[in-house]
Amino acid sequence: MHFQVNGSPNDVMDAYKTALEGKGWSVTTIVTSGGGGGGGGATYTGTNGDAYGVFDGGGFNTTTYIDVCTWPSKPSNPNCSRGDR
């Protein structure tokens, strides 16, 4: 699934991580980036029981794009790339 959120990338991804944790996900931050002029983003992986997810978001200024991939268990190649759409 992928979607667009109105908000700065760092704020949106911080809120997304907090929401996941509030729903019982154990979240690990893989990469965070802060770009100049309001750009940035983050990639998280998480587990909730056996379920595994990759949550990738980034953007610029007040636009953030998030890609979410979840599986019932961790796959051998948990790739959730924006280029795979």
**C-alpha to C-alpha distance for 49 and 63, rounded to whole angstroms:** 32
Give me the residues paired with residue 69 across strands.
54
Cβ count within 10 A of residue 67: 19
Q: Which two tokens stand for residue 21?
A: 């944790």
**C-alpha to C-alpha distance for 85 and 82, rounded to whole angstroms:** 6
List the chain domain ranges. 2-78
Q: Is the pTM of this model over 0.85?
A: no
**C-alpha to C-alpha distance for 48 and 46, rounded to whole angstroms:** 7
Percent of the chain with pLDDT over 90: 62
* pLDDT for residue 27 is more than 90: yes
